[in-house]
């Protein structure tokens, strides 16, 4: 299905929420049935060399209490995923130069050598050689949100970084045959429904395998502390529109939704999302991964956070899947490449 910018804006303004969410759910069911994929997220470090205005982990936040996980601690989390039959792990963190690219490659090799898991990385912007090394080590997927489609705003919010570089990085990931994920925050300061509609069309033009979208949440230890949070209803409309335009992408109902408003993760699933990503970061440090306020605050331990996720899936009326949940989009792309080369 296609939609033009003014149709998208009308939906973002609330033209027909009931029809929009019903259509998004219909589209998700036609591709994924009633299954929800789980991804266990391991937040391995909250040190970051970047200084993004929106993020609590920014290097300029002197109040943040920092931590790094050891190899052993990362393996403890990996083993939680294995024990709980969660077939995909996501290694996420700040851009922390303490861990060398070789060290990360060694870690990936060790994990895939030992366990049958899909490995997703979310380690920020990296050069092509590093991304290649990690792919060859056995990583399958990479998440790198473009954050906004408004270049000017991107340059304001990510000092010293260029929007075009982020986009190039996504292209490199595609060339390296990663399953590629990107996304945005809804309600960043300086944005409106017009820029949001452009982001929805922009993301769709990237033909992504995974799309992660959540509301912007103002963090008290950042320069954006006094800005309003992204609105939950606007985020839900965005999710539904992106789902309708990208039927084959894996899309999470994010924890930022839940932090913004209790129960919003259920609403996200009902608006067409098919993935949930419980944190399996060790309890000792979990709450310190404070990208936005409330992040990881709801769960005492991994079992508790997993139980909460199972409850959300049940309540929303879907079923937990035990599959690795490869994106049908990359499978389609591979098939069409094979047909072309015949
Ligand atoms: N350092 C990596 C991964 C960790 S940040 C990176 O930046 O890509 C993961 C995501 O958290 C970011 O892509 C951003 O979209 C989101 N995020 C950061 N600060 C946020 C905030 N204040 N509110 C909502 N989401 C935020
Ligand atoms: Fe670092 Fe990512 Fe936070 Fe930016 S959003 S400061 S890159 S952790």
Residue 103 belongs to what H/E stretch? helix 101-114
Residue nearest to atom 7 of ligand 2 (CA): 50
pLDDT the model gives residue 100: 97
Q: Judge: domain 5-341, CATH 3.40.50.720.
A: no
Residue whose CB lies within 8 A of the most ligand 1 atoms, among 104, 145, 191, 254, for a mutation test? 145
Q: How far is the CA of 276 from the centre of ligand 2 (A)?
A: 21
Buried residues in 226-247 as b, exposed as e (16+ CB within 10 A)? ebebbebebbbbbbbbbbbbbb
Report the sign of the C-alpha dihedral through residues 242, 247, 248, 252, in that order.
Answer: positive
Whether the CB-CB separation of 84 and 40 falls below 8 Å is answered with: yes
The C-alpha atoms of residue 304 and residue 232 are separated, in whole angstroms, by 25
pLDDT in tens, the chain (342 residues): 889 999 999 999 999 999 999 999 999 999 999 999 999 999 999 999 999 999 999 999 999 999 999 999 999 999 999 999 999 999 999 999 999 999 999 999 999 999 999 999 999 999 999 999 999 999 999 999 999 999 999 999 999 999 999 999 999 999 999 999 999 999 999 999 999 999 999 999 999 999 999 999 999 999 999 999 999 999 999 999 999 999 999 999 999 999 999 899 999 999 999 999 999 999 999 999 999 998 887 666 667 778 889 999 999 999 999 999 999 999 888 888 877 766
pLDDT the model gives residue 337: 80
Q: Is the CB of 55 under 6 A from ligand 1?
A: yes
pLDDT the model gives residue 297: 79
The C-alpha atoms of residue 172 and residue 124 are separated, in whole angstroms, by 13
pLDDT the model gives residue 229: 97
Q: What is the pTM of this model?
A: 0.96
Whether the CB-CB separation of 185 and 194 falls below 8 Å is answered with: no
What is the separation, in whole angstroms, between the first and last Cα of the chain? 29
Q: How far is the CA of 317 from the centre of ligand 1 (A)?
A: 29
Q: How far is the CA of 340 from the centre of ligand 1 (A)?
A: 38
Q: How far is the CA of 342 from the centre of ligand 1 (A)?
A: 42
The C-alpha atoms of residue 42 and residue 114 are separated, in whole angstroms, by 17
Q: What is the DSSP string of 129-160?
A: HHHHHHHHHT--EEE---B-S-HHHHHHHSTT
The two three-digit tokens of residue 249, written as one number: 């992408």
């Amino acid at each position: 299905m296609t939609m033009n910018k003014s149709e998208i804006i009308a939906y973002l303004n609330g033209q027909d929420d009931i029809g929009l969410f019903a259509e998004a759910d219909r589209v998700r069911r036609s591709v994924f049935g009633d299954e929800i994929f789980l991804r266990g997220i391991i937040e391995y470090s909250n040190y970051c060399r970047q200084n993004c205005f929106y993020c609590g982990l920014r290097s300029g936040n002197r109040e943040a209490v920092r931590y790094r996980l050891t190899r052993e601690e990362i393996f403890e989390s990996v083993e939680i995923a294995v024990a709980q039959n969660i077939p995909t792990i996501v290694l996420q963190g700040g851009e922390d130069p303490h861990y060398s690219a070789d060290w990360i490659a060694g870690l990936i090799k060790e994990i895939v050598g030992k366990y049958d898991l899909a490995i997703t990385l979310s380690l920020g912007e990296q050069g092509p050689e590093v991304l290649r090394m990690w792919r060859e080590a056995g990583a399958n997927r990479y998440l790198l949100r473009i954050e906004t489609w408004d270049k000017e705003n991107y340059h304001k919010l990510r000092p010293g970084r260029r929007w075009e570089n982020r986009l190039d990085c996504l292209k490199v990931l595609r060339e390296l045959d990663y399953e590629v994920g990107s996304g945005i925050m809804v309600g960043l300061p300086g944005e409106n429904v017009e820029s949001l509609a452009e982001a929805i069309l922009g993301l769709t033009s990237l033909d992504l395998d995974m799309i992660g979208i959540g509301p912007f949440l103002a963090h008290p230890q950042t320069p954006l502390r006094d800005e309003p949070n992204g609105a939950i209803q606007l985020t839900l409309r965005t999710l539904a529109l992106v789902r309708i335009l990208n039927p084959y992408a894996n899309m999470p109902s994010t924890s930022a939704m839940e932090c913004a408003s209790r129960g919003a993760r259920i609403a996200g699933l009902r608006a067409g999302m098919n993935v949930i990503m419980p944190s399996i970061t060790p309890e000792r440090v979990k709450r310190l991964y404070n990208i936005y306020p409330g992040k990881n605050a709801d769960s005492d331990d991994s079992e508790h956070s997993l139980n909460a996720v199972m409850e959300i899936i049940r309540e929303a009326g879907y079923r937990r899947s035990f599959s690795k949940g490869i994106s049908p989009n990359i499978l389609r792309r591979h098939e069409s490449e094979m047909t072309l080369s015949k």
